[in-house]
């Protein structure tokens, strides 16, 4: 048997784990159906890990290169799972005004530097309500 043949499961596994992570960041992230639960990425990563394991088993001799490649691939998968779970968690917000509670009034500057009060927005003729959208900021 030729032990020097190209270990395709190993290298395909590595490429697939990189593809899984980047395809989420640049493509699947755009769609709620593949973003909120990143199931496509999980499937790709599971396939990548299976290939990496197969690659290590197939590797001849001391397998040191195969093991290093597999650790990189599995590490990428672990990093991905961490960042979409623990890494993206937000505080619980136990004291956010609840449904039925009064929203505290406030005055803040708008984009043109003019002070705007919540009460003033709510009092505008024809106003049915205001949707406050808190966001992280444009950095």
Binding site for other proteins (CB under 8 A): 29, 32, 35-36, 84, 88-106, 108-113, 116, 118-119, 121-122, 124, 127-139
Report the nearest approach of other proteins to the CB of residue 115 (Å): 10
As measured in angstroms, the least distance from the Cβ of 90 to other proteins is 4
Distance of CA 95 to the CA centre of its chain: 26
Alpha-carbon gap, residue 138 to 135, rounded angstroms: 9
Question: Least distance in Å: CB of 73 to other proteins?
Answer: 23
Closer CB to other proteins, 11 or 29, in the complex? 29
- Residue closer to other proteins, measured from CB, 50 or 132: 132
CB atoms within 10 A of CB 47: 15
Which of these, 31, 10, 24, 29, lies nearest to 80 by C-alpha position?
24
Q: Which is nearer to other proteins, 54 or 84 (CB)?
A: 84
Distance, in Å, from the CA atom of 60 to the CA atom of 14, rounded to the nearest integer, reads 18
């Amino acid at each position: 048997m030729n032990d020097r043949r190209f270990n395709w499961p190993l290298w395909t596994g590595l490429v697939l784990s990189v593809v899984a992570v980047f395809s989420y960041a640049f493509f699947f992230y755009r769609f709620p159906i593949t973003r909120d639960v990143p199931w496509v990425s999980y499937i790709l990563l599971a396939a990548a890990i299976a290939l990496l394991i197969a690659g290590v088993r197939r590797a001849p001799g001391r397998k040191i290169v195969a093991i290093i490649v597999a650790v990189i691939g599995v590490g990428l998968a672990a990093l991905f799972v961490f960042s979409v779970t623990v890494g993206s968690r937000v505080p619980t917000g136990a004291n956010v005004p609840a449904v039925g509670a009064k929203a505290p009034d406030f005055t803040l500057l708008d984009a043109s530097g003019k002070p705007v009060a919540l009460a003033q927005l709510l009092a505008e003729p024809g106003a049915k309500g205001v949707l406050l959208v808190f966001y992280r900021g444009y950095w």
